[in-house]
Structure 1
Amino acid sequence: MSFFGNYSNLHSLKNYTFAAVIRFMVRYTIILLLILFSAEGFSQVDLRRDGGGVMGNTSNRDIGDPQKTVIDNREKPPIEDYKIISVENDTTYVDTTLTIYKDYKFNYLRKDNFELLSFANVGHAYTSLAYNFDEVDLLPDIGARAKHFSYYKVDDIFYYHVPTPLTELFFKTTFEQGQNVNAFFTTNMTPRLNISIAYRGLRSLGKYQHVMSSQGAFRFTVNYQTKNNRYDLKTHFVSQDTGNEENGGLTRQGNISYRSKEEEFDDRSLLPVNFKDAENMLYTKRFFLKHNYKVVKGNDSTENNQIRIGHQLNFTDKEYRYSQNTPFAGFGASYKNTNLRDEVEYQRVSNLVYAQYQNTILGELTFQAKYSNYNYGYSKKLILGDLNESARVIPNRLKGDVFSVGGRYKKKIGGFQLSGDAMVNLSDEFSGNYLKANAGYRLDENNKVDASLVINSSAPNFNFLLYQSDYVNYNWYNNFDNVQKQDLNIDLKSKKIANVSASLSQINNYTYFGLRDNEVEGTEADTLITPYQYNGNIGYLKLKASRKFEYWRFSLDNTIMYQNVFSGEEVFRVPDFVTRHSFYYEDYWFNKALYLNMGFTFNYFTSFMADGYDPVLAEFYVQNKQELGGFYRADFFFNGKVDQTRIFLKLENFSTIFEGNNNYSAPSQPYRDFVIRFGLVWNFFL
């Protein structure tokens, strides 16, 4: 699927507007780069050494001697100079080491997926084994949360400052006829202007019928500071499409054959599935700009009495589609007999301005104001029933403007680091607010503790409020109350004891998708999914601890998580225990030419009533028919590092070679069989 493919006529006006915005952004970025490059061109730091570099002083060379060899004697910059900068200016540097934690992150998400259970194919959904409620927002999102696991949020985009060009190549095999690649390049055009460009591509056919994943994500960033360090700019553009073929899971007979481990179905493509003619797709595009100017620079060393003004722009466009050639009776009646197509779009433009004052006594004080415009909906209204007063109208669009105000605070007092952030909507249509407070204290170089409190009230995602579909059951218009979340988290990091985190969450007006009785006569529907709002409280406790033990060249890395839903367990389900244990050997081989890391990883979770997966909504729903039995997974890995290249080889779920596999990722969604996968991460420092 193309990022900029032709859309249907119902989006012509929106596409024209978005295309105009894209053209403006491209022109803006090109002009900006030209201006910044020209302005900085005469002030670049010359890294060349006379007569020593590739472009050394030609007056000292014998140009007429073709045998003269030019040798670059420049020292390689230290790895700490290759800086990675977050949107909040937290800075780290490129890490080319090989550890067990790199193995945990060597996956499609490039994140530790300890709290997730993957579906059968790469790039599909994940069953959540645990939840985090530390993120906040003032407005609802589009929904389709099962397609947002790989979505690049604003905080997932980083900016760079490098002394030489840097490239990273990621490659990993998939399941049948495909590959997963991620290519990244960054360079400093001048000492104060950095650009980066990256692309992630995935294609995987999968072992089962009609489960192919085909996805792509393009990212481009600019990071710039003026010579006097008074103006700072960070901007990025992300375009992403996440598409999957959907088969609705195994049929009743398919589930029986799968659970029975019948040998003839070891070829998973022979197992019958519910349908083979559906797919869903999420298109997303975002332009983000954050820049600020120091009106009063303040003291150079302490930045005392500094005054800064800033602006932040976030233009996000999302579009979700579900298409199917023929209706599936399990979803209920449909308005059409062929070519079903559901399509919803969502645009949001947010402008935030702020003024910041920094004082060594008072700390860092910020006032911020935000204006947001949202537009979610469909091309047509839907009238249910006859055209009379009793008819129920499903509107086609939710749109409006929201003004928000708030502030931030940051202060270091002795060993304590305090921070806070709060905002509130000044709107009757979509009320909302949030408060984030954090206190950190470093006991010594080996021990640190952080405590945070998050309070958030916001409307449920738009697909809970309004949805239209060619399936009769998937049409609703609701006026739900705000979801109210409170989360208290304590995080202790100790190098000698353990890393321990504890979170206590409470949720009021929890919204979820669930099942209702089949009230549609004459249909064969097994599940009729509808949105609900829970009128009780969700109480959720999560305790997580990790510790690594080392002896000689052997290590044992352990992560244990305990969870307890002490109220609202009828709609909010998680396993009681989730564990991971890695026993491995690591050492240098071949006269230190190769660094080796090899061993076993065991994952286990206890049984629980996991949510089911619905491909029409790309959401999970609460069900009470099939329990997800707790099972363990065993992987053997053999990883090596040669220079700046990390090579990964893994025998995934190898225990199923002897025992067979009849485990599930979700109801009617089989878990992965044994497979050998390999890949690499390769860094080039030019």
Structure 2
Amino acid sequence: MRIFYFFLFLFSISLFSQEKDTSSVKSIKADISLYKIYNLKKDTIVVDTSLTIADEYKYNYLRKDNFGLLPFSNEGFLYTQLDFSKKKTFIFPQFGFHAKQVAYLDVNEISYYSVPTPLTDIYFKTVMRQGQSLDALLSLNTQKNLNFTVAYKAIRSVGDYFNSLTSSGHFRFTTSYFAPNKKYFLNAHFVGQDILNQESGGIKDVSQFESNEPSFKQRERLDVYFDNASSKLKGNRFFIDHNYKLKDSNSLVFKHQAFYEYKFYEFLQPTPSSRLGVPDNGASINNKTRFDVFYNKVGVSFLTKKIGELNFFIDNYVYNQFYVTNSLTAIALNLPNNLHSRVNTVGAQYDFFHSKWKFNILAQNAFTDRKTSNFEVTAKYNWNVFSSIEIKAQQNSKLPDNIYLFAQSSYDKYNWSNSFKNEKESSLKVLATTKWLNLSAQYSIYNDKLYFYNDYEKIDTLYVSPKQYAKSIQYYNVEISKEFKFKKFGLDNRIKFQDVKQDDKVVNVPSVITRNTLYYTDHVFRKAMLIQTGLTFNYFSKYYADDYNPILGDFFVQRQTKIGGFPMLDFFVNARVRQVRIYLKAEHFNALFGDRNYYNTPNYPYRDFKVRFGLEWNFFK
């Protein structure tokens, strides 16, 4: 109900904001190019109400193109990471539970707005069985230089399988300001997020899923490992980024960025399962991990029109992670229940623009006992509006995430205290954009890679623990994309090739990922409506996909079962009427007549055939 009430609240505000005051002069409509969205890197886009094939790809729970991510059967639960290059890297230690954080909005994923009149954006989409998914936003400038934006994204979906409900909420409040003389700029936000999932543990017997038995077509009848387990990831963050420029040009700029964030991950299971180990005294499982971090970064830069911007900075990253768990095993092993530390780095960054060239150099190194470093060089050349080439080289040494270093649980197998080396990565990336095709390539070398592995090596028993790989891993990928158009038809193609060179199967990826869409676009009803209809083919080759562990909220390496090699066909009909975009899709319709061999992990099936619909609606005053 909280989704419904928030929807009504924003809808009523948007309608009120669009009422015309008949006693005043005729309202002036602002050009849509003045409605702008930007991020901390100052990358800016204009609010777009058109209907393109890119909009079809972004119409999902994440609200971005999820090529290389395979969603689990229930919306908002998890994603299998097919594209290894999409994995996030932070040089500062995180608290872990990464599988749960694909939908979690980090600092750099928050958008800021500048709008001449109030803007309302509404996203709605049906889900699996009962529930709905909604993202509603209201943005307004009280003055030309002061913006306030409030937004809320939520989902509730029961799911097809027993004990697989998802219920999540993401509240965002942002504000941005610049002084009338444009010497002072500020962006700030508060974000509160909670991601709740029932944890089924996957199906016990895949033959039930693959059989033609009519009763098993009702997926809630399939036996699952856990019937009362659940997990919750919650976090709140307060953030500010501001700077002051002494003069209009050739000036010193003083910068400051800070945030405070706390997160916790909780795994509850009233009835313990022997699949996960031996519980303390046979009692119910209540594992809770809390992570607090306070970050400060101060810097000064010299900005000129001729040589670009040279920036020097120092930052302070203070964190504390602790377990709210009375683990008898941890007490017997004398394990620590918290990890408190500080990491300080000093760095320099140089940005240079000249004619068609753009350069960026970043060097950052820790001067505290806990060492971490990052070095990046980027060069980009723009031939014209349609063609460019970008080359990026990076080398970093990353501190281990805390979940690898220590853990406590009411299950005996999930208690440890480790000392691991930093993970090291060296990579070279190339991105070329032309009118003929788009091409990207990456070559990376990983040393001291950290990962989780099931020591029991059988799916019916999960004794998962952290490991560090002492040898080097080489990763390659090449991606090609191109859209062809002929009259009212379009063919959009995207294919990625991946390969890994390693002595042991630690990093496992599908060698091929592809998405191809054939579609038709035309105006109907005297051009009052734009119709877009087509067929999308998704496919990835067979590989040893990582499996999922709900206690760790993360994936682990398995080398027993391959998944993949199955097509996923979607048929869609989309329409646009003024600022409204309507979406209707028959997802994975080939599941009606194909083999039931589609999985996200060895025992989590991919989605069955579903018909889903929804809309995106923008209101402008």
> TM-score w.r.t. structure 1 length?
0.86
Who is 1:315 aligned against?
Answer: 260
73, 78, 81: which one aligns with 2:26? 73
Alignment check: 8 A CA contact 2:145 2:180 kept: yes
440, 462, 465: which one aligns with 1:530? 465
Structure-2 change in CA distance of 1:416 and 1:590 (3 Å): same
Alignment check: 8 A CA contact 2:327 2:409 kept: no
Who is 1:514 aligned against?
Answer: 453
233, 255, 273: which one aligns with 1:328? 273
520, 523, 528: which one aligns with 1:588? 523
- Separation (CA, whole Å) in 1 of partners of 2:88 and 2:413: 31
Alignment check: 8 A CA contact 1:433 1:456 kept: yes
Who is 2:220 aligned against?
Answer: 269
- Separation (CA, whole Å) in 1 of partners of 2:524 and 2:424: 55
- Separation (CA, whole Å) in 2 of partners of 1:225 and 1:415: 29
- Separation (CA, whole Å) in 2 of partners of 1:151 and 1:92: 22
279, 282, 287: which one aligns with 2:233? 282
340, 358, 369: which one aligns with 2:314? 369
- Separation (CA, whole Å) in 1 of partners of 2:123 and 2:25: 29
Aligned-partner SS, 1:265? helix
Aligned-partner SS, 1:269? helix
Who is 1:191 aligned against?
Answer: 144
Q: Per-residue CA shift, 1:655-682, capped at 9, x if unaligned?
A: 1122253311111101110010000000
Alignment check: 8 A CA contact 1:381 1:395 kept: no
Who is 1:291 aligned against?
Answer: 242
Who is 1:255 aligned against?
Answer: 206
Structure-2 change in CA distance of 1:635 and 1:380 (3 Å): closer
Who is 1:306 aligned against?
Answer: 251
Alignment check: 8 A CA contact 1:187 1:196 kept: yes
Q: Per-residue CA shift, 1:623-653, capped at 9, x if unaligned?
A: 1221113111000000000000000000000
415, 420, 427: which one aligns with 1:487? 427
Who is 2:5 aligned against?
Answer: none
531, 554, 563: which one aligns with 1:628? 563
- Separation (CA, whole Å) in 1 of partners of 2:76 and 2:147: 31
Who is 1:408 aligned against?
Answer: 349
Does residue 1:650 correspond to 2:585, yes or no?
yes
Q: Which moved more, 1:332-341 or 1:216-225?
A: 332-341
Q: CA deviation at 1:446?
A: 2.0
Aligned residues: 606
Who is 1:33 aligned against?
Answer: none
Quick one: which amino acid aligns to residue 485 of structure 1? E
Does residue 1:215 correspond to 2:168, yes or no?
yes
What stretches of structure 2 of length at least 5 have no aligned partner? 3-18
- Separation (CA, whole Å) in 1 of partners of 2:36 and 2:456: 56
Q: Which moved more, 1:361-370 or 1:339-348?
A: 361-370
Which structure would you say has the larger Rg? 1
- Separation (CA, whole Å) in 1 of partners of 2:427 and 2:146: 39
Who is 1:58 aligned against?
Answer: none
125, 138, 141: which one aligns with 2:78? 125
Who is 1:60 aligned against?
Answer: none
Q: CA deviation at 1:219?
A: 0.1
Alignment check: 8 A CA contact 1:348 1:372 kept: yes
Who is 2:359 aligned against?
Answer: 418
598, 611, 616: which one aligns with 1:663? 598
Does residue 1:162 correspond to 2:107, yes or no?
no
- Separation (CA, whole Å) in 1 of partners of 2:588 and 2:89: 36
Who is 2:416 aligned against?
Answer: 476
- Separation (CA, whole Å) in 2 of partners of 1:184 and 1:587: 30
296, 304, 312: which one aligns with 1:359? 304
Structure-2 change in CA distance of 1:648 and 1:361 (3 Å): same
Q: CA RMSD in A?
A: 2.0
Q: Which moved more, 1:594-603 or 1:416-425?
A: 416-425
Alignment check: 8 A CA contact 2:302 2:311 kept: yes
Aligned-partner SS, 1:659? coil
313, 330, 338: which one aligns with 2:283? 338
- Separation (CA, whole Å) in 2 of partners of 1:133 and 1:660: 30
- Separation (CA, whole Å) in 2 of partners of 1:652 and 1:104: 13
- Separation (CA, whole Å) in 1 of partners of 2:352 and 2:378: 11
Identity of aligned residues (%): 37
- Separation (CA, whole Å) in 1 of partners of 2:564 and 2:113: 45
Equivalences for residues 495-510 of structure 1 within 5 A: 496-510=435-449
Q: Which moved more, 1:450-459 or 1:590-599?
A: 450-459
Alignment check: 8 A CA contact 2:287 2:325 kept: no
471, 483, 490: which one aligns with 1:548? 483
- Separation (CA, whole Å) in 1 of partners of 2:89 and 2:555: 21
Alignment check: 8 A CA contact 1:332 1:525 kept: no
- Separation (CA, whole Å) in 2 of partners of 1:457 and 1:587: 52
Who is 1:63 aligned against?
Answer: none
